[in-house]
Amino acid sequence: MKMERRDFLLWIGAIAFSLGLTKKEKWELLKVLFNIYMEVKEMGCRIGEDFIKREFHLDLDGKRENREEHIVVLIHNEGNGDKFILQVTFFKTRANYYFTRNAENIRNITCIVNGDVIEVIENELKEEELNILLPKILKGIREEKKLLKLN
Protein backbone atom coordinates (compact mmCIF):
# COMPACT_ATOMS: atom_id res chain seq x y z
CA MET A 1 0.00 0.00 0.00
CA LYS A 2 1.50 3.30 -1.09
CA MET A 3 0.86 6.23 1.22
CA GLU A 4 0.46 9.66 -0.35
CA ARG A 5 2.44 12.57 1.10
CA ARG A 6 -0.68 14.27 2.51
CA ASP A 7 -1.81 11.10 4.30
CA PHE A 8 1.70 10.55 5.60
CA LEU A 9 1.94 14.10 7.02
CA LEU A 10 -1.45 13.78 8.71
CA TRP A 11 -0.40 10.41 10.11
CA ILE A 12 2.91 11.79 11.45
CA GLY A 13 1.13 14.86 12.81
CA ALA A 14 -1.38 12.70 14.64
CA ILE A 15 1.39 10.62 16.21
CA ALA A 16 3.40 13.67 17.22
CA PHE A 17 0.26 15.35 18.53
CA SER A 18 -0.48 12.79 21.18
CA LEU A 19 0.37 9.12 21.39
CA GLY A 20 -2.22 8.37 24.06
CA LEU A 21 -5.34 9.35 22.10
CA THR A 22 -7.41 7.00 19.94
CA LYS A 23 -7.12 7.29 16.18
CA LYS A 24 -10.54 8.98 15.91
CA GLU A 25 -9.64 11.52 18.61
CA LYS A 26 -6.34 12.35 16.88
CA TRP A 27 -8.08 13.06 13.58
CA GLU A 28 -10.78 15.12 15.29
CA LEU A 29 -8.23 17.24 17.16
CA LEU A 30 -6.25 17.84 13.98
CA LYS A 31 -9.47 19.01 12.31
CA VAL A 32 -10.18 21.37 15.23
CA LEU A 33 -6.63 22.74 15.05
CA PHE A 34 -7.00 23.26 11.30
CA ASN A 35 -10.33 25.03 11.83
CA ILE A 36 -8.74 27.35 14.41
CA TYR A 37 -6.01 28.12 11.85
CA MET A 38 -8.60 28.84 9.13
CA GLU A 39 -10.79 31.05 11.37
CA VAL A 40 -7.83 33.21 12.39
CA LYS A 41 -6.25 33.28 8.92
CA GLU A 42 -9.60 34.54 7.58
CA MET A 43 -9.21 37.59 9.85
CA GLY A 44 -6.12 38.59 7.89
CA CYS A 45 -3.06 40.70 8.66
CA ARG A 46 -3.18 44.11 10.26
CA ILE A 47 -2.02 47.07 8.17
CA GLY A 48 1.76 47.12 7.78
CA GLU A 49 2.29 43.53 9.01
CA ASP A 50 3.21 40.48 6.95
CA PHE A 51 2.02 38.01 9.60
CA ILE A 52 -1.22 37.36 11.45
CA LYS A 53 -1.32 37.78 15.22
CA ARG A 54 -4.62 37.69 17.05
CA GLU A 55 -5.29 37.63 20.77
CA PHE A 56 -8.38 36.33 22.53
CA HIS A 57 -9.50 36.21 26.17
CA LEU A 58 -11.64 33.13 26.74
CA ASP A 59 -13.07 31.25 29.70
CA LEU A 60 -11.79 27.74 29.03
CA ASP A 61 -11.84 25.97 32.36
CA GLY A 62 -15.04 27.30 33.92
CA LYS A 63 -13.25 28.43 37.09
CA ARG A 64 -14.70 31.70 38.31
CA GLU A 65 -11.63 32.55 40.35
CA ASN A 66 -9.36 32.93 37.32
CA ARG A 67 -12.03 34.13 34.87
CA GLU A 68 -10.26 33.90 31.51
CA GLU A 69 -7.29 32.46 29.72
CA HIS A 70 -5.27 34.41 27.18
CA ILE A 71 -4.99 32.88 23.70
CA VAL A 72 -2.50 34.09 21.10
CA VAL A 73 -2.56 32.78 17.54
CA LEU A 74 0.41 33.60 15.32
CA ILE A 75 0.53 32.66 11.64
CA HIS A 76 3.43 33.52 9.36
CA ASN A 77 4.73 32.25 6.05
CA GLU A 78 7.60 29.81 6.31
CA GLY A 79 8.87 28.20 3.11
CA ASN A 80 6.11 26.32 1.31
CA GLY A 81 3.56 26.66 4.10
CA ASP A 82 2.51 28.63 7.13
CA LYS A 83 3.86 28.25 10.64
CA PHE A 84 0.93 28.26 13.04
CA ILE A 85 1.50 28.79 16.77
CA LEU A 86 -1.31 28.54 19.30
CA GLN A 87 -0.34 29.80 22.76
CA VAL A 88 -2.55 29.42 25.84
CA THR A 89 -1.76 31.32 29.04
CA PHE A 90 -3.47 30.09 32.19
CA PHE A 91 -3.89 32.49 35.12
CA LYS A 92 -4.06 31.97 38.87
CA THR A 93 -5.61 34.38 41.36
CA ARG A 94 -3.18 35.63 43.99
CA ALA A 95 -4.00 34.81 47.59
CA ASN A 96 -5.78 37.67 49.39
CA TYR A 97 -6.01 39.65 46.11
CA TYR A 98 -9.07 38.37 44.29
CA PHE A 99 -8.75 40.77 41.36
CA THR A 100 -5.03 40.24 40.79
CA ARG A 101 -4.06 37.35 38.56
CA ASN A 102 -0.64 36.04 37.63
CA ALA A 103 0.27 33.89 34.67
CA GLU A 104 0.64 30.36 35.98
CA ASN A 105 1.30 28.31 32.82
CA ILE A 106 2.02 29.09 29.20
CA ARG A 107 1.57 26.23 26.73
CA ASN A 108 2.17 26.17 22.97
CA ILE A 109 1.15 24.05 20.03
CA THR A 110 3.30 24.65 16.95
CA CYS A 111 2.18 23.41 13.53
CA ILE A 112 3.12 23.69 9.88
CA VAL A 113 0.15 24.12 7.52
CA ASN A 114 0.60 23.43 3.82
CA GLY A 115 -2.66 23.78 1.91
CA ASP A 116 -5.17 21.63 3.78
CA VAL A 117 -2.52 19.53 5.54
CA ILE A 118 -1.59 20.31 9.14
CA GLU A 119 1.46 18.81 10.84
CA VAL A 120 2.01 19.23 14.57
CA ILE A 121 5.68 19.98 15.31
CA GLU A 122 5.46 20.62 19.04
CA ASN A 123 2.70 20.15 21.62
CA GLU A 124 3.06 21.30 25.24
CA LEU A 125 -0.56 20.69 26.26
CA LYS A 126 -1.39 17.63 28.32
CA GLU A 127 -3.51 14.86 26.81
CA GLU A 128 -6.46 15.54 29.10
CA GLU A 129 -6.40 19.25 28.14
CA LEU A 130 -6.53 18.70 24.39
CA ASN A 131 -10.08 17.34 24.11
CA ILE A 132 -11.44 20.08 26.36
CA LEU A 133 -9.46 23.17 25.35
CA LEU A 134 -9.21 23.01 21.57
CA PRO A 135 -12.97 22.85 20.87
CA LYS A 136 -13.57 25.64 23.43
CA ILE A 137 -10.88 27.78 21.79
CA LEU A 138 -12.47 27.27 18.35
CA LYS A 139 -15.94 28.09 19.72
CA GLY A 140 -14.62 31.20 21.51
CA ILE A 141 -12.85 32.48 18.38
CA ARG A 142 -16.02 32.01 16.32
CA GLU A 143 -18.11 33.82 18.95
CA GLU A 144 -15.66 36.73 19.09
CA LYS A 145 -15.69 37.01 15.30
CA LYS A 146 -19.50 37.23 15.43
CA LEU A 147 -19.31 39.97 18.07
CA LEU A 148 -16.84 41.88 15.92
CA LYS A 149 -19.02 41.19 12.84
CA LEU A 150 -16.14 39.52 11.02
CA ASN A 151 -18.30 36.58 9.83
pLDDT under 50 in the chain at which residues? 1-3, 6, 8-12, 14-20
Contact 66, 91 (CB under 8 A): yes
Query: 33: closest CA among 151, 147, 122, 148?
Result: 122
| Total domains in the fold of the chain | 1
pTM of this structure: 0.76
Cα–Cα dist 14/42, whole Å: 24
Domain limits for position 113 = 5-147
Cα–Cα dist 82/35, whole Å: 14
Please report which residue ranges of 1-151 form alpha helices under DSSP H.
Answer: 5-17, 23-43, 127-147
Q: What is the per-residue pLDDT across 65-94, written as a single tens digit (0 to 9) for each? A: 555 788 999 999 988 899 999 999 887 776
Q: How far apart are the first and last CA of the chain?
A: 42
Contact 145, 151 (CB under 8 A): yes
Residue 83, pLDDT score: 96
SS3 content of the chain, % helix, strand, coil (to 5): 35, 35, 25
Residue 62, pLDDT score: 67
